[in-house]
Structure 1
Amino acid sequence: MPVIIGTAGHIDHGKTSLIRALTGQDTDRLKEEKERGISIDLGFAFFDAPGGERAGIVDVPGHERFIRNMLAGAHGMDLVLFTVAADDGVMPQTEEHLDILHLLGVRRGVFVITKSDLVDGARLAAVREEIEVLTLDTTLEGAPIVPVSTLTGEGLEALRGEIGALLAASPGPPPPGYFRLPVDRAFVIHGHGVVVTGTAIAGAVEQGGTVRVLPGNETARVRSLEVHGVPVPRAGHGQRVAMNLVGVERTDLGRGHVVCDPRLLRLTERFDGHVQIRPAARRPVTSHARVRLHIGTAEVMAKLVILGGGQLVPRASGWAQLVLTEPVLALRGD
């Protein structure tokens, strides 16, 4: 089954440098990113494993100001490369990114101790212990930990082996469902028209088929499909997909929209869900609190109504209803 690899980790802990060392591809595509030396938006690449599998890569920013971009990239992640710099150790966004991945249920990954050439063996052992303690009682508890230097190349082959082993351990067939692709980019190519990209989270789509764009309820035809830059007649769950659409304008869609099967029509402005409060939360969450909902690549303001009233303290969980300021496409299990 196709797999999406994502990155996670604190700013300047070497996520983009690691992807460049593994793939030879630079995921920083914006001028500002290259000038400032930090990732601001999502970056994309692919990884060819020793066993022949090709996996898509989504490289996310680590700065706390760009957490919404990190969330937009994390929604379709099957496997994570989680970087922790050897000189810094665990930092605030290390903890925040781990909380997010735990809430999303990401269970496969490798912790990469980057910049290993800067420290001695005792420091590497200390950082390894920090990671092991931090991940206790999370979905990534027990994940392999590999020290790596992108400067000397030390540890890269061991890391490739760990990634290959995780990719070879297939999680089984993709879940059933209608095609859905939360859009993370939309642009126009002269002579071709509107192109959208995203991670397909369910179902499949074929060249020449019809899709719907939500919200907006626009109908479009799929002129062509690409996966990792290669034209394909069909694409689906677990793949990074680029779609050339006919019948819509660039202004009709962007990040936060969903390209989906035409049979998916119903948007909602309220739904019930199980809510878990981060351990690092500074205060309890009370009923009717205003929150930001991140679903797919969308970000929507909402009111959180705790079923039964009361409040949820850090580490607690319970059922609540989310009342949104604008409609989204939300299905059971999202």
Structure 2
Amino acid sequence: METFKKGTQRLTDNEVDQLMKRQPHLLKQSYDQIPNLTPNSQEVISRQATINVGTIGHVAHGKSTLVRSVSTINTVRFRQERVRNITIRLGYANAKIFKCPKCPEPQCYQSFSSEKESNAQCELCKEVMTLVRHISFVDCPGHDILMSTMLTGAAVMDCALLIVAANMPCPQPQTQEHLVALVITKLKYVIVIQNKVDIIFRDQQAALRNYEEITRFIKGTIAEDSPIIPVSAQLKYNIDCVLQQICNFFPIPDRQLQVPPKMIIIRSFDVNKPGEKPENLHGGVVGGSILQGILSVGDEVEIRPGRQSKNGNQTTWHPITTRVVSLYAEQNELVYAVPGGLIGVGLLIDPSLTRNDNLVGCVLGFPKQLPELYRELEINYYLMVSVVGAQQQDGKTQKIAKIQQDEMLKFNVLSNETPGRVIEVREDKIMRVALNNPVCTGLQEKVAFSRRLSNKFRLIGWGIITDGKTITL
């Protein structure tokens, strides 16, 4: 059997045989043919998601419930989240959307978990359906103190569902703040979900008033022309309309496949259970979204900034070089992964390095083909007039003061979050900042920054990286 090309490495005949036993339908073609695929090819969307859909909005408006109604996956997984019944960490879930050729719209759109086979039957007429979309949800927390976590998730979003509770006045504080975050990340496609209509179903006028509030709120924003869909996520009412709009309103983003891969890490963890025998241990796992290129099992990869070490007052960063041993999209094992969707990457590294999201904010790609590490940044910044969603005790909006030299702010670059000290502020809206931790980024990348106000970090502005000072690895 011809040896398969794998990025900078090659798989042996024995390794190919083992992979074909696991996934024969994916390995009928050689890796030389992979670049001919598109993100919407059936070979791809049958196994992995190709578009990231964020769920944003105020706390307890039903974001996680909507994700569960579409994907059957509960993103509230950690004990503290279940006790408090809120999302604290980024939640993730994949879903396949099928379309029935016989049923009328929107009933023809049905969703299942990512494990559903491509020959699924319609639940209404038993006709074989066509797989039209495979999506990954990025479920963001809605609490004000978790805004940085939301910005981390926004770094990998292609589009978003803005969830608004129909039984509460619109907008709520984080409804506003999350929509501003989408403006910063330059997302163009948003669908507004008017959730919890079942709570006010006896009062039609209340539902109409809430709809008018939503319309006034999104006027003049990126969501001005977005569809507004009344939904009961708890009762799965109108979910088929949501699926219809996801397929028709959200386009598949253009992806670069024939370039070196670049993946943003938004999760990292240790999959080994306490007391596991040494021979059964697995390497560390990172999760995130591929922005460009194709990542394959067997590839040698580098993670930047990587591991930190200290020698007295001197801090050194060591990029991690390792090899990809497995790729997963939910429970679907992959041989290669393309941009879009949330991917779990099994690596040959000590799992202690990936435990408790230790590598969140890092970037993964081929060795020596990743962006530089910057410890100082020059940012062309834009300062907001007032704090979104925050009011003073007298009910007036809280104005944002000018940025001062030596002030400490929190900066979000891609999925990296780090404090930084402002070392210079110029009249031409340029500031230079010294970051506590380096960021792996390129010039012209977007950056958001927050200021501590009333013991909470609140979003106050954003900017573009124009220059910087790199560090030696």
Q: How high is the TM-score relative to the length of structure 1?
A: 0.90
Q: How many residues align?
A: 326
Letter in 2 for 1:60: C
Do the aligned partners of residues 54 and 125 (structure 1) sit closer, same or farther apart at CA in structure 2, a change above 3 Å counting?
Answer: same
CA RMSD across the alignment: 2.2
Partner of 2:270: 188
* Counterpart in the other structure of 1:13: 61
Gaps of 5+ in 2: 1-38, 40-49, 100-131, 273-279, 306-317, 388-398, 446-473
Distance 1:116 1:220, change over 3 A: same
Higher CA-based Rg: 2
Within-5 A mapping of 1:273-288: 273-281=379-387, 282-288=399-405
SS in 2 for 1:157: helix
| Equivalent position to 1:23, from 71, 78, 81 | 71
Q: Distance in 2 between matches of 1:297 and 1:151?
A: 31
Instruction: Name the counterpart of 2:361.
Output: 256
Q: For 1:326, which of 419, 437, 442 is the aligned residue?
A: 437
2:363 maps to amino acid = V
Structure 1 counterpart of 2:436, one-letter code:
T
Deviation at 1:235, TM superposition (A): 1.4
CA-to-aligned-CA distance 1:200-256 (integer Å, 9 cap, x gap) = 223321110111111131101011111232111211322211111114443264222
**Deviation of 1:177 (Å):** 5.4
> Deviation string for 1:22-58 (max 9, x for gaps)?
1211011101111211111111111222352101111
CA 1:238–1:320: 2 relative to 1, 3 Å = farther
Alignment of 1:1-334 (within 5 A): 1=39, 2-51=50-99, 52-88=132-168, 89-119=170-200, 120-167=203-250, 169-174=251-256, 178-190=260-272, 191=280, 192-215=282-305, 216-251=318-353, 253-262=358-367, 263-264=369-370, 266-281=372-387, 282-288=399-405, 289-304=407-422, 308-309=426-427, 318-334=429-445
Contact 1:86 1:114 in 2 (8 A): yes
Distance of aligned partners of 1:118 and 1:243 in 2 relative to their CA distance in 1, 3 Å threshold? same
C-alpha contact (below 8 Å) 2:304/2:363 kept by paired residues: yes
Percent identical pairs in the alignment equals 25
Distance 1:49 1:279, change over 3 A: farther
SS at match of 1:122: helix
Q: 1: distance between equivalents of 2:296 and 2:410?
A: 34
Deviates more, 1:78-87 or 1:124-133: 124-133
Partner AA of 2:206 in structure 1: R
Following the alignment from structure 1 to structure 2, what is the Cα–Cα distance between the partners of residues 181 and 26? 25
Question: 1:102·1:140 contact (CA, 8 Å) conserved in 2?
Answer: no
Given that 1:204 and 1:236 are in contact with CA atoms closer than 8 Å, whether structure 2 keeps it comes out as: yes
Match of 2:243, SS? helix
Letter in 2 for 1:12: A
Q: Distance in 1 between matches of 2:187 and 2:175?
A: 15
C-alpha contact (below 8 Å) 2:65/2:234 kept by paired residues: no
Shift of the alpha carbon at 1:279? 4.3
Native 8 Å contact 2:423 2:433 kept in 1: yes
Please give the secondary structure, in 2, of the residue aligned with 1:286: coil
Aligned partners of 2:403 and 2:268: how far apart in 1?
37
User: Deviations 1:177-202 (Å, cap 9, x if unpaired)?
Assistant: 54222322222234322111112223
SS of 2:137's equivalent in the other structure is strand
1:220·1:245 contact (CA, 8 Å) conserved in 2? yes
**Distance in structure 1 (CA, Å) of the matches to 2:198 and 2:351:** 50
Q: What is the CA–CA distance in structure 1 between the aligned matches of 2:260 and 2:404, rounded to whole Å?
A: 34
Runs of at least 4 residues off by over 6 Å: none
- Mapped to 2, the partners of 1:217 and 1:78 lie a distance apart of 28
- SS of the residue aligned with 1:217? strand
1:4 and 1:240 in contact (8 A); partners too: yes
How much does 1:307 deviate? Answer: 6.0
Question: Is the contact between residue 159 and residue 187 of structure 2 (CA under 8 Å) also seen in structure 1?
Answer: yes
The secondary structure found in structure 2 opposite 1:118 is: coil
* Preserved CA contact (<8 Å) 1:200 1:238: yes
Residues 263 and 290, structure 2, Cα contact 8 Å, conserved in 1: yes
Moved more, 98-107 or 320-329: 320-329
